[in-house]
Amino acid sequence: MIGIVVVSHSPALARSAVDLALEMVGESPPPIAIAAGAGDGIIGTDATRVADAIDEVASAEGVLVFMDLGSAVLSATMALEFMATTEEVRLSDAPFVEGIVAAVVLAAAGASLDEVDGESRAAMDAKRGQLDRQPAAVHVKPVEAVIENSGIDVTLVNPDGLHSRPAAAIVKAMAAFEATLTIANATTGKGPVAANSLIGILSLGANTGDVIRISGTGPQAAEAVEALGAMAVDGFGELPDTRIGA
C-alpha cells in the first residue's frame, strides 16, 4: 500500500480527519503518519517533522502528502529536501478532509499512487454535485434484484442510501475481484461511475428507494456483481435488527 502523510497546523484537526477516514476501512488501513503542530502546544508546522513522517511510511509504492493550509504547504515542500527516502513522494492539492478520506479508502484497497492521487484530487466533485440542481428523474420500474448477463438492478433499502460508509465498503469489497465494475443511479440517470471510486459513488446521490444499476466486465465480473448486489439487498449492514428481543 502507498503511505499517507497528514500535515496540519493542529494535531487535533489532523487526528480527527484521520480517525474519520479510518472508520471507513476497518482493520486494514494503509500506513499513515501525522506531522502536526510545531511542538510544545504551538499551532504551526515543522518541515523536519514532515520529513520524518514521510520516511516513516515510505515504500516502493510511494507516499502522498496532504496539507491543511498556508505554511503547511511550505513545510511539506521543504521536507522534500530533508527526507531520507528516495521513493516517490507527491504533495496533494486535494481538499484536506475529503481528500484524506478518499485516499485512505482507495489506498486500503491496494490502489496505486496515481489512482489514489487522482481520486483524492477529485474529492470535492461529489459535494459539488449534491449542491447543484438535480437532473430530471428517469422513471425506472423498481426491482429488488434482477441479474441480466453481467449486470444487476438493486433497490437501495438502507436508510441513508449510498453515503460514505457503504461507498467505502463497496470499494473495499471490489478489490478482491478481477473485474471492472460500474454503478449508475437508474432512478435519476446519474452515472455510471467506477465502483472502486468512493467519490464517484457518492456523486450518484443515490438515496433509499433509488434503483442502482451495477455492471461489470472481466474474468470475475459475474461474481463481483453478485457480491455487490447481495451487499445492497442486505442494506450494506445498516438495516435495523427486527428480531424479537433484539
Is residue 41 assigned to a domain? yes
Q: Clarify whether residues 8 and 77 are in a common domain.
A: yes
Q: 10 Å Cβ neighbour count for 96? A: 20
Contacts of 131 (CB under 8 A, 6+ apart): none
Is residue 132 assigned to a domain? no
* Residues paired with 229 in a beta bridge: none
Q: Clarify whether residues 103 and 203 are in a common domain.
A: no
Answer left, alpha or beta for residue 197, where phi above 0 means left and psi between -120 and 50 means alpha.
Answer: beta
Q: Clarify whether residues 193 and 91 are in a common domain.
A: no
Residues present in the chain in total = 246
Q: Clarify whether residues 85 and 30 are in a common domain.
A: yes
Please report, in tens digits, the pLDDT of each residue of the chain (246 residues total).
999 999 999 999 999 999 999 998 878 899 999 999 877 777 889 999 999 999 999 999 999 999 998 889 999 999 999 999 999 999 999 999 999 999 999 999 899 999 999 989 888 877 776 666 444 443 333 333 433 446 889 999 988 888 888 888 898 888 888 888 999 999 999 888 889 888 888 888 899 999 999 998 888 889 999 999 999 999 988 877 544 444
Residue 191 phi, psi (nearest 5): 95, -170
Q: Clarify whether residues 13 and 113 are in a common domain.
A: yes
Give the pLDDT score at 244.
Answer: 46
Q: Give the CATH number of the domain where residue 91 resides.
A: 3.40.50.510
Q: Where are the beta strands (DSSP E) in the chain?
A: 3-8, 32-36, 63-67, 89-91, 145-148, 151-155, 180-185, 190-194, 211-217
Q: Which amino acid is at 129?
A: G
Is residue 226 assigned to a domain? yes
Is residue 171 assigned to a domain? yes
Is residue 152 assigned to a domain? yes
Active site residues: 9
Last residue within a domain, chosen from 66, 93, 123: 123
* Cell numbers for 40: 510544545
Q: Clarify whether residues 110 and 215 are in a common domain.
A: no
* Cell numbers for 209: 428507494
Q: Give the CATH number of the domain where residue 231 resides.
A: 3.30.1340.10
How far is Cα 153 from Cα 212, in angstroms, rounded to an integer?
6
Is residue 245 assigned to a domain? no
Is residue 194 assigned to a domain? yes
How far is Cα 106 from Cα 179, in angstroms, rounded to an integer?
16
Q: Clarify whether residues 69 and 25 are in a common domain.
A: yes
The structural domain count of the chain equals 2
Is residue 114 assigned to a domain? yes
- Per the structure, the complete domain to which residue 58 belongs is given by 3-123
